[in-house]
Structure 1
Amino acid sequence: MKKEQLKSTVALLILFLAAAGCKIPAVIQRSENRKTPGAYSSNLPVDTVTSANLPWRSFFTDEDLLALIDTAIKNNQELNITMQEISLARNDIRLRQAPLVPIVGARVGAGLEKVGRYTSQGAGDASTEIEPGRPVPDPLADFGASLYANWEIDIWKKLRNAKKAALGRYLASVEGKNFVLTSLVAEVANAYYELLALDNQLNVVQQNVALQQNALKIVAIQKEAARATELAVQKFQAEVRSSQSLEYEIRQQITETENRLNLLLGRYPQPIRRNSSTFLELMPAEVASGIPSQLLANRPDIRKAELELSAAKLDVKVARAEFYPSLGVSGSIGLQAFKPSYLAKLPESMLYSLAGDLAAPLINRAAIKAEFSSANARQIQAMYNYERSILTAYLEVANELSKIDNLKKSYGLRFEQVTALNRSVGISNDLFRSARADYLEVLMTQRDALEAKLELIETKKDQLVAVTNIYRDLGGGWK
């Protein structure tokens, strides 16, 4: 009879498992595309050396800039917020680790119960005696102390996969911090170069104002000698005011750039230490681009997207395991009696229990299916995000390499333009003094020279910024 009961139980269990496991949705698979071109440009030689491996202290050489970057890394609020996100992700790993081991606890309690006399329980208690002539106390006290344990056996690796997914997201948060770090280094450097450029533009405008004021004095003298008209005086006066107005615009830009840099450094507005006198003599650092496949290892945003993709795949496995039965085991052992002195009477006061249960959803599994579908969709979404990260990184590097090359050629031409216009300003002033040139020629020459000088400084800034950006785009700045 016992064998027949056992066979019936096993058959019922098999039937239960079969019913619980039927009609489970399939996982939507999509192959990963990790391929990258062999080079960024057909015009560049293929070399595996990359500037991304250089620490930022070696890539930048300006001592003032290095001090600013060091301060930003210590104080920047966004970076500190990201560090807290890492702590949150680390705690999530501990949260996912807990269900893998049994939950063991201790329980101590005391209670008092009085049941109605005319109830089934009350009538039973009245006829029960522990010893002859000694009925059960009324009201009935209850004292106990026990240990208990609950454990879900991870037969489908649901809990282990959830822990691995949490670990992947923790590592992704670390890469997220690295991405914020490399972006911060580039932002500080770019703001610093912008500040140097604005200082030089301010100096050029001030020199131009002095030149224009000198020309204004000359035309005023010529007017007194009837060699020029009031129109010429007013034209020169207007040009001086225009340049003076431009000076205050640049001063405002300097203030805003300093404050933006102070924000990156996590401090209130204060002067930024810098040496702007040699700005036009700065030579952009030589950059080794390496090969595109190195971006997969060096770019923190790509590594983050890859880890998030791995975590999303594990989430699908966790969601799929919800369709299968879960096996739980629980038990307890302890002492219980209605008088404290009886707790020491063994084995009468001992209690223990051991139970196992198998549970699985059979009907109305819509919520589980919805979560599974969402996990599938998030996995595909993470795949597209990963592929987009690779494509974006490749295009950013290709664009910056082309930009560096074109800016180098542009700077050479602008330098020649400024040299020619500087000579033109001197010539036009000499001709104007000898009444061999019109005042409009002088004004236009000075204006062209000013614009060319400002554009030359802007091009130099763009060169330095482009080098900083490609260092960031290659994955440098966080090591």
Structure 2
Amino acid sequence: MHKKYKIIVVIVVLSLLPVGCMVGPKYARPEEQKSDSYKNERNLDTLASVTNLKWFDLFNDDVLKDLIKKGLENNYDLKIAVSRIDQLRAELGYAKSDLFPSFQYGATINSNEKNFTPSNAGASMSWELDFWGKYRHERNAVQNELLATEEGRKVVLSEIVTNIAFAYFQMRNLDDQLEITKQTLAAREKYYGIINERFTKGYISEVDKVQIEQQVAIAEAAIPNIQRQITFQENALAVLTGQLPSDIPRGKTNTELRIVSEIPLSIPSSLLENRPDVKAAELRYKASNERIGVAQAMRFPSINLAAIAGFASADLSNLFLGSSYSQNASAGIAGPIFAFGKNKRRVEIYREQAEQFKYNYQKTYIVAISEVEQSIQDIKTYKEEWKARNRQVQAALINHKLSYERYNSGYVSYLEVLDVESKLFEAQLSLAQLSERQLSSMVQLYKALGGGWNL
């Protein structure tokens, strides 16, 4: 067999050897603390009821939906996440290229024949065979990091949707509080006029007058405080939607708003594998596990192939003649002998890093279960609390009316009226806040279950 063909056969055989020679640990999924369902037992629903429900089916307010759409289009955190995905895709292509030969070309022109460096033109090939799987492990690691980053984009997406919803609910709650406070102020100012007139005519003492005057001032002071908070929420919504600060449009009140979906309140804990942060944590552990293989492969010899072909001549005019042509192929092997434990310690470093990613995955899974459990409990208790607080408000309204009638008839002092009115005011504000928290808790559960956050 011609020498040239022998070299080709050797190269082909060596290139096929790495297929079954990968070193490094095989991936094993970490153990998870499983449970059939959460401790707050309710009717079991299917996985599809959560994962197939999209965020735009969750809300019945077109203004809120429009704000969320703007957030998904303009939010800078989401743009950063998408850019990271594109970066990882480029890094994956970079890692894959190490599995193949690299080709180079070069040329040198010398007009002086006495120069020790002759004129030359040629091409070369170099290839480190991935005999032990070093580059394949790195490729797999980057691929898992890419998938983790894509899951990270979903995490950012869910944060945008939920944060916009939370900020909107809080803004509408403050709108309700501002309206309640204005109505309270108007009622107090009206009654202040009546009491002041009675004081002027000498029917009542100055104590009643200063008491209602104090209550008017309290209501007046509450209004600018609420207005500052509204501006803060409007600015927060502007940032979340990637806009300059501006007036935010209003849709339905929190009382009118409803989370229109029926989110299941008892789900097997295995459902949380659908959560993007849980998926991302496992994928990062997979990537770190692959890098143990990279470190182990670096302890073994590397096998390199090289080939060169081209023309070289001291006489530039004879550069491309047949007599100036030459070619060569070679193979080499190199590996570590003794490095005072450096290579072994490298493997240990990557192994411990993988352990850290494993523990982070297990922690993320437990936190996910805790968040769902808390959200379920929040929904249940906020609903019960809202019903009780609503009964309190209705009773306080009746008591407020009766106390004024009793005061006007001279049966009680104005101090009793003030006490009743203050409790009514506080109950109304609490009811408005509970409406917001009910809505937020439903969105929080939806987020905690990891469903429906796809574009």
Q: Is the 8 A contact 1:47 1:291 kept in 2?
A: no
Question: SS where residue 93 of structure 2 aligns?
Answer: helix
The code of the aligned residue for 1:36 comes to: K
Q: Is the 8 A contact 2:104 2:125 kept in 1?
A: yes
Structure 1 residue aligned with 2:83: 84
Q: Which of 297, 301, 313 is equivalent to 1:337? A: 313
Q: How many Å apart are 1:294 and its aligned residue? A: 1.3
Question: SS where residue 387 of structure 2 aligns?
Answer: helix
Structure 1 residue aligned with 2:398: 423
Question: SS where residue 48 of structure 1 aligns?
Answer: coil
The code of the aligned residue for 1:373 comes to: E
The code of the aligned residue for 2:43 comes to: P
Structure 2 residue aligned with 1:406: 381
The code of the aligned residue for 1:67 comes to: D
Structure 2 residue aligned with 1:20: none
Which moved further from structure 2: 159-168 or 335-344?
Answer: 335-344
Q: How many Å apart are 1:111 and its aligned residue? A: 3.6
User: Any idea what the Cα deviations from partners look like across 1:197-246, whole Å, max 9, x if unmatched?
Assistant: 11111000000001111221222122123232112211111111111111
Q: Could you tell me how far apart the structure 1 residues matched to 2:237 and 2:434 are? A: 21
Q: Is the 8 A contact 1:28 1:376 kept in 2?
A: no
Structure-2-length-normalised TM-score: 0.90
Q: How many Å apart are 1:337 and its aligned residue? A: 0.2
Superposition map of 1:266-345 within 5 A:
266-276=242-252, 278-285=253-260, 286-289=262-265, 290-296=267-273, 298-345=274-321
Matched, 1:169 2:168: no
Q: Could you tell me how far apart the structure 1 residues matched to 2:94 and 2:24 are? A: 29
Q: How many Å apart are 1:408 and its aligned residue? A: 0.7
Q: How many Å apart are 1:392 and its aligned residue? A: 0.7
Runs of at least 4 residues of structure 1 off by over 6 A? 25-31
Matched, 1:95 2:94: yes
Question: SS where residue 442 of structure 2 aligns?
Answer: helix
User: Any idea what the Cα deviations from partners look like across 1:367-405, whole Å, max 9, x if unmatched?
Assistant: 433322221111101101111111111110011101101
Structure 1 residue aligned with 2:12: none
Structure 2 residue aligned with 1:53: 52
Question: SS where residue 293 of structure 1 aligns?
Answer: helix
Structure 2 residue aligned with 1:359: 334
Structure 2 residue aligned with 1:215: 191
User: Any idea what the Cα deviations from partners look like across 1:98-154, whole Å, max 9, x if unmatched?
Assistant: 1111001111112477xxxxxxxxxxxxxxxxxxxxxxx534562111110000011
Q: Is the 8 A contact 1:335 1:343 kept in 2?
A: yes
Q: 1:184 to 1:364 in 2, by over 3 A?
A: same
Q: Could you tell me how far apart the structure 2 residues matched to 1:273 and 1:93 are? A: 44
Question: SS where residue 355 of structure 1 aligns?
Answer: strand
Q: 1:349 to 1:315 in 2, by over 3 A?
A: same
Q: Is the 8 A contact 1:284 1:463 kept in 2?
A: no
The code of the aligned residue for 2:58 comes to: F
The code of the aligned residue for 1:58 comes to: D
User: Any idea what the Cα deviations from partners look like across 1:39-76, whole Å, max 9, x if unmatched?
Assistant: 11253133324424201111222111110000000000
RMSD, aligned α-carbons: 2.0
Q: 1:28 to 1:364 in 2, by over 3 A?
A: farther
Matched, 1:196 2:196: no
Q: How many Å apart are 1:30 and its aligned residue? A: 8.3
Q: Could you tell me how far apart the structure 1 residues matched to 2:449 and 2:257 are? A: 22
Question: SS where residue 336 of structure 1 aligns?
Answer: strand
Q: 1:26 to 1:328 in 2, by over 3 A?
A: closer
Q: How many Å apart are 1:475 and its aligned residue? A: 0.5
The code of the aligned residue for 2:75 comes to: N
Question: SS where residue 187 of structure 1 aligns?
Answer: helix
Question: SS where residue 37 of structure 2 aligns?
Answer: coil
Which moved further from structure 2: 364-373 or 318-327?
Answer: 364-373
Q: How many Å apart are 1:340 and its aligned residue? A: 1.9
Which moved further from structure 2: 101-110 or 47-56?
Answer: 47-56
Percent of aligned pairs sharing the same letter: 27
Q: Is the 8 A contact 1:112 1:141 kept in 2?
A: no
Q: Which of 16, 32, 35 is equivalent to 1:37? A: 35
Structure 2 residue aligned with 1:472: 447
Q: Which runs of 5+ in 2 are unaligned?
A: 1-22
User: Any idea what the Cα deviations from partners look like across 1:390-430, whole Å, max 9, x if unmatched?
Assistant: 11111100111011011111100000000011111111111
Q: Which of 228, 251, 261 is equivalent to 2:237? A: 261
Which moved further from structure 2: 218-227 or 91-100?
Answer: 218-227
Q: Which runs of 5+ in 1 are unaligned?
A: 1-24, 114-136
Matched, 1:242 2:240: no
> Rg bigger for which structure?
1
Question: SS where residue 226 of structure 1 aligns?
Answer: coil
Structure 1 residue aligned with 2:362: 387
Which moved further from structure 2: 200-209 or 32-41?
Answer: 32-41
Q: Could you tell me how far apart the structure 2 residues matched to 1:42 and 1:68 are? A: 34
Q: Is the 8 A contact 1:112 1:142 kept in 2?
A: no
